[in-house]
Structure 1
Amino acid sequence: MEIPSSNDQAYVIFRATDTRQEDEYVYHADLISPFIAEQPSFGAYFGNDIPYDQNFLNAEESLLFKSEHSVSLYRYFYPQEFPIPLPPMETKSPEIAKETQVIDDGDFLVNVPVPFEKSGYYFVQEDTSSASGLMIKTAGKAFPKVSTWEEMIQMVAYISTRKEHETLLAAENKKIALDEYWIRMTRDEEAAKVLIKEYFRQVEFANILFTDYKEGWATDRGMVYIIMGPPQEVYFNLDKETWVYLAQDSNSKITFTFARVKNILTPQYYTLNRSRAYQPVWFKTITAWRNGRMVF
């Protein structure tokens, strides 16, 4: 693909059809835009020269980097954990850490497999004086699936009361506490099994679709996707993404707007425009989840 040097913006749109169910998916990516400082001059690959085309990498996997300009690249590791997003109706801004720990992992040679052993996120650069680079989010071996009881407890925060969540966090045996949590919520063991399966299926899809430097489930878009399900309409703009849902039992629509924010680590960083107006529909949808009735 050749882009004229005079272009100050360029985008690619790709349509794919799942031949099993005839579902069509539309993907888009910036090639040149205000949200991309500069494309890195190197590429990342799995084994057998398969391009690294995911938004995450499972910890302990390796990548091979190729470059026509350099024999080595630089790698930085960020171990910081981030809080889960606030509900859509919470308009008070959360506290944001003013500093983050950065570990210089040194340089490594291109054309040699490089393991990424720790969970967190890495930033790989050819020129450390430039903003150009590749962010690689690393997660557990089972990601995008959930692998530990501790992870499950964090993920059910969206449909839990504060007291319920604090009780789960403090539980000595988290598996038993979670089992009791789901059964107490549904009052039916079989219904609880169905609810668990559906909820964590949403979490898995959110991880696949929305992971940036945070796990997909812990992003604003991931939170809305898990609770509300896939939107009926999606509109992409340069500086925002808009999701539209049809309200249950009415002809009205609910719109969630995610503002795109410049971020050196990823061009796909979105934050929800929060409003107290979301409170009725959000509580209604969470109540449906807790009663074992998904609204999508």
Structure 2
Amino acid sequence: MRSWLIGICLVATSLAAHAQSRMSSAELSYQYNLQNEFLMSHKLASQASEYKLFLHFSLNSGNVKISDFEIKYDLRSDYMDERDVNSSIQIDSTNVIDVAFREFVFEVPFSVENNETIMVVDVYNIQKDKHYYYDIPLKVGETAPASFLVYQAEKDIPLFQKYLNKGIPVRFKKVFGQESNYQISGMENNRAFPAPPFDEAERGAPLRISIDTLFGANENEVFTFHNQGFYKISASNNTEAVVPLLVMDNFYPYYEDYSELVKPLVFLSTNEEFTSLRADSDTRAAFELFVQNTISSNEKMAKDFIKYYYRRLRKSAWLFSSDREGWKTDRGMVYQIFGDPIQVFRNENTELWVYSSAKGGKMRFVFELTIEDGLRKYKLLRGKRYREDWMTAVTQWRAGRIIE
């Protein structure tokens, strides 16, 4: 096993007491819990050493109010770097640029020194005396963020979603005031289904099929995507820094037809079952027959399966969509079958998810960070050790038992 893999496990188990000062030992599972008392997302833009953070903070529980929270940030050289005393900077009402019902958007300008690679946001619930930590890498690989962002068409705030439904207008806008023209290139979203965690076979990359020709847009011009796909947007004066954008159909993360509804069943079906599902000309009948014969003939159990399994697909869309649907990513696949991880730890290179194992003890999934198409992606380090737990969980789903 690689030394850095051993390192992250040691960090997760032996340095938990230092979570307040070191991000590598901060427990981050709340970020994947969509029932958490608050939800956060962000967008980052840069120009030379000047940065701007846009932070979307949503109160997600009726038991909390914005005055319950104190939000601060500091900049560090890496995940092992401890916070300097008195280095934290307050984010407060002076940073607010938009307010909706229990939602707040903060704009935070800051400067970065050469050795600073990560921003750590500390959200402190004063009433509970509890800290939540939110890590924001300041570069994608070696590339600083672009100096522009995708904005909503009718509000002067960035698009925070991990995907855009086609037909919804947006704008491309320089964050630091200068104007530019923009180039937009797209590829078809033809990504394959992820292999199970125990399948270590190498798979070839899918064909990169371009969408039409190169599009163009002017500064602040309202632009509408009419085709699904994965797009890369760049300013004409700097084509290296790109803003990636996944464009999905009007219904995503819901489903318009049964031909799409059967695809996520790949995790629960045998090869023969899945081939039959995809080949049947009446996909609705095939889907209903699969649920009735494989999951349960009991109407309530069948409805519960559909409700909970496809609700988790929607959660994966909100959490993990990147250049593909959220459930097609490695983290989305694990999340789909096992649900919210008990613990999550992260450093510059890896992310570790911890679950209870059906065999007793803990089950650990390690995802390795890769950079591709201007995106940070996490690739699961697969191994045969996952087979038993995976097959046990799949069997439970197929028996109509909901894993929550």
Relative to the length of structure 1, the TM-score reads: 0.90
Cα distance in 2, alignment partners of residues 99 and 162 from structure 1 = 26
Cα distance in 2, alignment partners of residues 121 and 171 from structure 1 = 29
Question: Does the CA-based 8 Å contact 2:173-2:219 persist in structure 1?
Answer: yes
Question: Does the CA-based 8 Å contact 1:15-1:25 persist in structure 2?
Answer: yes
Identity, % of aligned pairs? 25
Q: Which structure 2 segments of 5+ residues have no match?
A: 1-108
SS at match of 2:121: strand
Q: Which amino acid aligns with 1:295?
A: I
Question: Does the CA-based 8 Å contact 1:30-1:36 persist in structure 2?
Answer: no
The structure that is strand-richer by fraction is 2
SS at match of 1:203: helix
- Residues 179 and 137 (structure 1 numbering): CA distance in 2 closer, same or farther, change over 3 Å? same
1:48 equivalenced with 2:155 (yes/no): yes
Cα distance in 1, alignment partners of residues 148 and 207 from structure 2 = 31
Q: Which structure 1 segments of 5+ residues have no match?
A: 18-22
Cα distance in 2, alignment partners of residues 26 and 165 from structure 1 = 41
Tell me how far 1:210 sits from its aligned partner. 0.3
CA-based RMSD: 2.3
Q: Which amino acid aligns with 1:240?
A: T
SS at match of 2:161: coil
Q: Out of 352, 356, 371, which is 1:242 matched to?
A: 352
Tell me how far 1:199 sits from its aligned partner. 0.4
Residue 167 of structure 1 corresponds to 276
Instruction: Identify which range, 210-219 or 59-68, moves more after superposition.
Output: 59-68
Cα distance in 2, alignment partners of residues 236 and 81 from structure 1 = 29
Residue 20 of structure 1 corresponds to none
Aligned ranges 1:97-176 → 2 under 5 Å? 97=206, 99-101=208-210, 103-127=212-236, 130-176=239-285
1:215 equivalenced with 2:325 (yes/no): yes
Instruction: Identify which range, 177-186 or 258-267, moves more after superposition.
Output: 258-267
Cα distance in 2, alignment partners of residues 99 and 105 from structure 1 = 15
Cα distance in 2, alignment partners of residues 58 and 237 from structure 1 = 32
SS at match of 1:2: strand
Where has structure 1 moved over 6 Å in runs of 4 or more? none
- Residues 122 and 111 (structure 1 numbering): CA distance in 2 closer, same or farther, change over 3 Å? same
Deviations 1:153-176 (A, max 9, x none): 111110011111111111111111
Cα distance in 1, alignment partners of residues 289 and 165 from structure 2 = 31
Q: For the pair shown, which has the larger CA radius of gyration, 1 or 2? A: 2
Question: Does the CA-based 8 Å contact 1:35-1:263 persist in structure 2?
Answer: no
- Residues 12 and 26 (structure 1 numbering): CA distance in 2 closer, same or farther, change over 3 Å? closer
- Residues 24 and 12 (structure 1 numbering): CA distance in 2 closer, same or farther, change over 3 Å? closer
Deviations 1:100-146 (A, max 9, x none): 43643332111111101111111110147642010010011111223
Cα distance in 2, alignment partners of residues 142 and 274 from structure 1 = 32
SS at match of 2:374: coil
Cα distance in 2, alignment partners of residues 108 and 29 from structure 1 = 29
- Residues 295 and 99 (structure 1 numbering): CA distance in 2 closer, same or farther, change over 3 Å? closer
- Residues 128 and 97 (structure 1 numbering): CA distance in 2 closer, same or farther, change over 3 Å? farther
Cα distance in 2, alignment partners of residues 98 and 177 from structure 1 = 29
1:257 equivalenced with 2:366 (yes/no): yes
Aligned ranges 1:1-296 → 2 under 5 Å? 1-13=109-121, 15=123, 27-32=134-139, 35=141, 37-46=143-152, 47-67=154-174, 68-97=177-206, 99-101=208-210, 103-127=212-236, 130-185=239-294, 186-248=296-358, 250=360, 252-267=361-376, 269-296=377-404
Cα distance in 2, alignment partners of residues 265 and 15 from structure 1 = 28
